[in-house]
A = this chain, B = another copy of it.
Amino acid sequence: MTDGVLRFGADYYPEHWPETRWTTDARLMREASFNVVRLAEFAWSKLEPREGEFDFSWLDRAIAVLHDQGIDVVLGTPTASPPMWVMKKHPDAYRVLEDGRRLTFGHRRHYCPNHEGFRESTRSIVAAMAEHYAANKAVIGWQTDNEFGDRCYCGSCGRAFARWLAKRHGSIDTLNERWGTVFWSQEYENWDDIQLPSRIARAPNPGLQLDYFRFSSDSYVDYQNIHIDILRRLCPDQWITHNLMGFKYDQIDYFDLAAPLDFVSWDNYPRLAWAMVPEVDVPAVALASDTMRGLKRKGFWVMEAQSGSGGWEDISVAPRPGEIRLWAWQAIAHGADGIIFFRWRTARVGAEQYWHGILDHHGEVGRRYEEVRRMGAELARVGGKILPTQPRAEVALMLSYDSRFAFQAQGNNPAFSYPGHLRDIYAAFHRLNVMVDVVSPEADLAGYRIVLAPALHVLPAATADRLRAYVEAGGVLLGTARTGVKGIHNEVVDAHLPGLLRDVFGVRVEEYDSPALGVATQLRAEGAGQNLTGDATANGWCDILAPEGATPLMVYEAQHYLGRAAVTEHRFGQGLALYAGTFGNAALHDHLASRLLDAAGLAEAMRPAPEGIELCWRQGDDGTRLLFVLNHGVEPRSVVLTEAFVSLIDGLPVRGETVVGAHDVLLLRTGGNLI
């Protein structure tokens, strides 16, 4: 999909700057070894200044200037920022917030994806662009819109939701039965009786909630298909991607959004103004890349790689010297095949005045440019060696958007967060430098030695069957509290928990406790877990487990469930199923990770490293293994290499104790015919 070139560049907005500057920018880009830029994803007003009047001339000129320097182009369909004339034509296309307020003009993403008139305007601009650029050799691919998302509660959505429900449930009686609207006399008579579940009335029906969240996700998937259908038809030689928002974004089922794309991209901002904390959450960034790779189980691009402080009203902590390059290498280590920095030069105007690019407002090169230029030179040398490799994991982490949506409606416990729990489980493997794939509940699990399926709250029978078969065939499975509670209509199952997986885990949840905020209950290791150390505690949830074939790994040390099993493991078929009836702290997660890796015969895969060091591998089909030693810390660190490597950049041998500088990276190669 990426024609054998590891792509490197920036997001560029020629329309924001005098045309006289373009050649300077293009030259500086070439000097930084750029081979691609993204253009035009917010330029609707410049491309179609009035309805039906298209002007591609300025963009053609900009592309020519760039291509003259050997730089290819990705074009964004510019629908994320519909201009004034579009909104005046469709005044009811403004998106409506959950509280009923309708957006006004002046930001972006102010449209409803279900508004028929707006969809028609979308078809028009996308088709015009596609026709114009289908044959442009500089244009290698397309990005649909920009960062799809944000639920809408407007009348168009209400009508579309009624149609969506009719299609899903067939009859209103079926819907009433599935949602249990008998509760509180909420039966519907007609599809159009159903109102969107704004929280104005506190606690809407859980079936309605989950279906609305699914519908809202489907709305963007469907809206994206307008773009894709046109582009596939008119531009068969150019690929299509979309820039997603990593692991954290939670309102679209990204597996669905990714499905029709050639590959996914994402926007990677480890330091943002809306999280003014001193330290980067390194495992969370790694998880984001792994999630993006998992959406299609293939390489991805970073379409917006952080190149400076980010933020709108406030300005984030500045990326430390080296971090811009480090984060880009980290993304490559996790599977990125393209790095596009956002943005080339910091805007002097508009809401993103403080979203810093590679160049500052003044446009002169500086430290950040030099850092990018260094990386460009490195990639120019070694990109071709990296591209044939990819990360390979024997551990899979299951991400269920159905469960995520269900927890958004009903959080269960205020100390619990579904994405936070997944991040915490993931972090234990990250601390051991064990690579993890993120997979969907529909994924083929063959080939994984360990499957982590935390808090699989909404559990379809097919997923349960797949997990059962996986363990039966020898797999090692982790489940955690609140698994198997709900059927697909968000109804609580008519069975002992963990519901459909009770036999697999060999355990019955006899009772449970939803602890008060701040209450942590000590855990004590038993049986196979006894050699574990560290202060494992339970919090956020406490299942009281009655083993039905399983053996306790941990028991509670307090509360009325003192001595009762908190974590169990169960031989099932050829495999092993661990169940943790609590969310727990990092020490618990470390225990679980060790036990799982040990049980899966992967003990030797554990590679604890000094604080701040992250180790990643990409492997080629020829046996090549690339080791990325990433130092996220502010001090140089020594690592001890137990194999013989050569440095990817200069081909020199590296082994034994080796120092990696603060915010620096070692790129090492071993094995394969590349040596």
Measured CB to CB, the residues of A under 8 A from B are 15-16, 42-46, 49, 78, 81-85, 88, 97, 99-101, 103-108, 110, 179-189, 193, 195, 197-198, 200-208, 273, 276-278, 309, 311-318, 320-321, 346-354, 361-364, 366-367, 409-414, 491-496, 510-519, 560, 634
Contacts and interface: CB of A to CB of B under 8 A. Distances in A.
B182 A46 contact: yes
B519 A106 contact: no
B88 A193 contact: yes
Contacts of A189: 84-85
Given A110-B201, A313-B411, A353-B410, A361 B186 contact: no
B46 A185 contact: yes
A431 B495 CA distance: 44
A514 B366 contact: no
A494 to B, nearest CB: 6
A183 B103 contact: no
Contact of A317 (B85, B186, B366, B515): B515
Given A101-B100, A313-B409, A318-B513, A183 B276 contact: no
Contacts of A351: 183-184, 202-206
A182 to B, nearest CB: 6
A408 B185 CA distance: 33
Contacts of A193: 84, 88, 105
A201 B103 CA distance: 6
B106 A186 contact: yes
Contacts of A314: 410-414, 514
Contact of A206 (B100, B183, B349, B514): B349
A268 to B, nearest CB: 19
B44 A185 contact: yes
Contacts of A512: 318
A183 to B, nearest CB: 3
A316 to B, nearest CB: 6
Contacts of A197: 106
A184 B80 CA distance: 8
Contacts of A88: 193
A103 B202 CA distance: 9
A661 to B, nearest CB: 13
Given A104-B200, A208-B106, A361-B493, A81 B315 contact: no
A152 to B, nearest CB: 13
Contacts of A183: 16, 42, 347, 349-352
B516 A186 contact: no
A518 B277 CA distance: 9
Given A83-B185, A348-B180, A411-B314, A201 B107 contact: yes
Nearest to A348: B492
A513 B513 CA distance: 45
Given A16-B180, A78-B185, A185-B82, A316 B514 contact: yes
Contacts of A321: 560
Contacts of A201: 103-107, 110
A271 to B, nearest CB: 9
A349 B179 contact: yes
B410 A354 contact: yes
Contacts of A514: 273, 276, 309, 311, 314-318
A673 B149 CA distance: 75
Given A84-B186, A99-B101, A348 B195 contact: no
10 contacts: A45-B185, A45-B187, A106-B204, A106-B205, A107-B184, A107-B202, A309-B513, A315-B412, A353-B491, A364-B496
Contacts of A107: 184, 201-204
A552 to B, nearest CB: 20
